[in-house]
Structure 1
Amino acid sequence: MIEEFEEQKPAEVKLVVTEDIRSYLYDITKWAKFLSVVGFVVSIFVIIAAFSIPALINSNPAVATQMGQLGSSGTTIVTIVYFVLGLLLFYPSILLNKIANKGKQGVLFGDQESLNSAMASLKSLFKFWGSITIAIIAFYFLLIFMVGAGMAGA
């Protein structure tokens, strides 16, 4: 009985990559390269802003007085927030760059390993943005709950 079951294994299905699919993948790699370069530039500007904005706040007495009690800790918070945002933009740019480079190599030279690597980077990119999206949604629900609890307590 077990021998009959083992003999009835389904035939291995091979995925066929047509010329249309190769063309689509090649177009995807072009856009991924463009978006990765834009992402690198924006993340570098955000990281530069992380260290520039506190200096601008401290150099302008009117803004510094508006910071009030936060004082220098307010500029530290600004630096940390902007730096983290810059890093959050930098990581997907790295993944997009890997998708662009490996995907292009896989499509142009028929390199299965490169195409596998590009698809793994694509999976990581979607997991990253999915996790960020879940965190933002959870933060909004927490914020709504805290505002509601604050209004109920007032």
Structure 2
Amino acid sequence: METTEEINKSPLAPDNNLILTPEAQSYLLSAGKWASFLGILGFIFCGLYLLFALSIGSIMTKVAEMQPYNPAAAAMIGMGGGITVFYVLTDVLYFFFALYLYQFAIKIKAGINFSDPTHVTTGLRKLNSFFKLWGIVTIVAIALGVLGLVCIVAFAATIGNAMH
């Protein structure tokens, strides 16, 4: 029969103070190093992507000027601003992925190196934010894919009915 003290120390007890084993700390520290690397690369790619996003309108205008008799090239001039806005918004979204990953890395490494549970908790909260954002973006992408498929099927059905 378990005593009250043993029940309070069970993994399911709400006031359980989790203690990380050295092996678990090693895994978190390693994950923090990789997250730091990926976060920094994410920031670099965000900067490069932003440069591309701000340049695409000019690139499309120059391409259209080189082909004055091409109607598709003329349409590119009007689309440059919209594509720039889309790319900048995509870049902002990607920035948050890199930011959450980098914040996780900084906090988790500090928490493990200095045995500070506050930093570990903050780092894990940032990791939670990263995965929450990833999940929301995934749900939106699936919804847009399904909506696109429905639109394609509806368009094909409309064309099929118009041909008969």
2:29, 2:112 within 8 Å by CA — same for their partners in 1?
Answer: yes
Does the 8 Å contact 1:32/1:96 carry over to 2?
yes
Instruction: Tell me what 1:87 maps to.
Output: 92
Q: Is the 8 A contact 1:46 1:85 kept in 2?
A: no
Number of equivalent positions: 147
Aligned partner (choices 73, 98, 107) of residue 103 of structure 2: 98
Spell out the pairing of 1:111-122 with structure 2 (5 A cutoff). Answer: 111-122=116-127
Deviations 1:67-109 (A, max 9, x none): 334533x001110111011111101111111111110010001
Q: Which is worse superposed, 83-92 or 112-121?
A: 83-92
Q: Please tell me the root mean square deviation across aligned C-alpha atoms, in Å.
A: 2.0
Equivalent in the alignment of 2:32: 29
> In structure 2, the residue corresponding to 1:67 is in which secondary structure?
helix
Q: Which is worse superposed, 43-52 or 134-143?
A: 43-52
- Equivalent residue number for residue 12 of structure 2: none
Task: Please give the alpha-carbon distance, in whole angstroms, between the structure 2 residues aligned to 1:118 and 1:125.
Answer: 11
Give unpaired runs (5+ residues) of structure 1: 1-6
- CA 1:104–1:63 in 2, change beyond 3 Å: closer, same or farther? farther
Q: CA deviation at 1:46?
A: 1.0
Instruction: Show the counterpart of 2:53.
Output: 50
The ranges of structure 1 where at least 4 consecutive aligned residues each deviate by more than 2 angstroms after the TM superposition are 62-72
Measured in 2, the distance between the counterparts of 1:26 and 1:69 equals 51
- Structure 2 segments unaligned to the other structure (5+ residues): 10-15, 160-164
Paired with 1:53 and 1:152, the residues of 2 have a C-alpha distance of 36
| Mapped partners of 2:87, 2:127: distance in 1 | 26
Q: Is the 8 A contact 1:47 1:82 kept in 2?
A: yes
Contact 2:49–2:91 (CA under 8 A) maintained in structure 1: yes
Of structures 1 and 2, the one with the larger relative CO (CA 8 A, separation 6+) is 1
What is the identity percentage for the equivalent residue pairs of Structure 1 and Structure 2? Answer: 27
Counterpart position of 1:67: 73
